[in-house]
Amino acid sequence: MIRTDYNKDDSGGYQPNGLIESSPFFSWPPRPSKAVKHLFNCPGYLLPWYPMYVTIALITWFVLTPDLADMQSFEFRWITTIYFRNIGLLILIWGTWHFRFYVQRAQGTRYKYDKSWPRKHRRFLFGDQTKDNMFWSIVSGCSIWTAYEVVTYWMFANGYISFLEFRQHPLFFVFLLLLIPLIHDTHFYFGHRLLHWKPLYKLVHYIHHKNINVGPWSGLSMHPIEHVIYFSGVLLYWIIPIHPLHGLLYMQYVALAPAHSHVGFDKMIVGKKLQIPNTGDYFHYLHHRYFECNYGGGAVPLDKWFGTFHDSSSESHHAMRVKRRRLHG
């Protein structure tokens, strides 16, 4: 999403002081100069956070992942190595976001989308939103993430997935790395729309939407069936030639990026002057606030194409409030 400065919305929280715009990658007529700027600007398509996920994936692949030769059969040793490595990553990344913004409260409510703090409530497991979110994220989310990753490595080790070498196809290799956010965003939109089908919503997706005032641990707080759907985008990588690093980065991006997209703050203040933009995701926050808009992530303008786009304007806020009253009384 391309955004401008900030202002208070009608609930007292912070929102962009301007409209949310679609990615220029899909503009018609094409705007190549704006697309290139969006690729490298901060905030933009890659910055500020995607290089961090690429770095984590590289360290994970070269340091924290067993050798493929050991993965030709399903063995307890290497599977548990991956499982506990993923739990460690989840706690490190998600816990850091939560500690800074919700335990330490390092910047109070400055740049917070919802001016209030998450509260204890009986609708959550253990009567506590954070404990509820951690339970679903670690017990269900990390287990299903690991299951997909284990099967992917096993398929590579046994030659069921074509192996793409960097030295043979360096440009295509890098292109596939850069394409991951677009692939995830497309898969996420259609999977998310499916989950808002009334029977699936009542059975499955309601768990995620208990989090109206989101925090970092809300991002992966889902029913196990939703986790199966959410991580299933990796199935694309089972049928196209890739390197295991592509599958690893895709799964880590899908698992770890929701922490910052659900952090609930738009900017992170470091020191007295430095402000890191695009820390949270106002576009997705609006989905948690209104439920029936902004189903995707914004990298691909599917919401605009399918008529579910909320651009943060006062007109969009009004339209969603009217729709909510009409549907829910």
CA 177 to chain centre: 16
First to last CA, the chain: 32
Q: Residue 258 is inside which H or E element, if any?
A: helix 244-261
Give pLDDT, residue 5: 41
The pLDDT mean for the chain works out to 92
**What letter would DSSP give residue 276?**
E
In the chain, what percentage of residues exceed pLDDT 70?
Answer: 95
* Tokens linked to 276: 């890191």
Q: What is the mean pLDDT of residues 92-113?
A: 95
Q: What would the pLDDT profile of 280-328 be if each residue is shown by its tens digit? A: 899 999 999 999 999 999 899 999 999 999 998 888 888 888 877 776 5
Residue 249 reports pLDDT greater than 60: yes
Residue 9 reports pLDDT greater than 60: no
Give pLDDT, residue 2: 41
Give pLDDT, residue 10: 53
Which pLDDT band, with edges at 50, 70 and 90, does 3 fall under? Answer: very low
Q: What is the mean pLDDT of residues 172-184?
A: 96
* Tokens linked to 69: 């030769």
Residue 181 reports pLDDT greater than 70: yes
Q: Burial of 73 by CB count in 10 Å (0-12 exposed, 13-18 middle, 19+ buried)?
A: exposed
**What letter would DSSP give residue 21?**
B
Spatial separation of the C-alpha atoms in residues 265 and 284, rounded to whole Å: 12
For residue 306, what are the CA distances in angstroms to 150, 300, 323? 35, 12, 17
Q: What would the pLDDT profile of 56-65 be if each residue is shown by its tens digit? A: 999 999 999 9
Give pLDDT, residue 213: 94
Spatial separation of the C-alpha atoms in residues 214 and 130, rounded to whole Å: 10
Residue 66 reports pLDDT greater than 50: yes
Q: What is the mean pLDDT of residues 133-139?
A: 97
Which pLDDT band, with edges at 50, 70 and 90, does 74 fall under? Answer: very high
Q: What is the mean pLDDT of residues 182-208?
A: 97
* Tokens linked to 50: 């995607």
Closest alpha carbon to 188 in 176, 205, 166, 172: 205
User: How many CB atoms lie under 10 A from the CB of residue 212?
Assistant: 14
Q: Using CA atoms in the order 15, 252, 293, 187, what is the torsion angle rounded to 10 degrees?
A: 150
Give pLDDT, residue 280: 81
186 near 305, Cβ under 8 Å? no
Spatial separation of the C-alpha atoms in residues 310 and 102, rounded to whole Å: 27
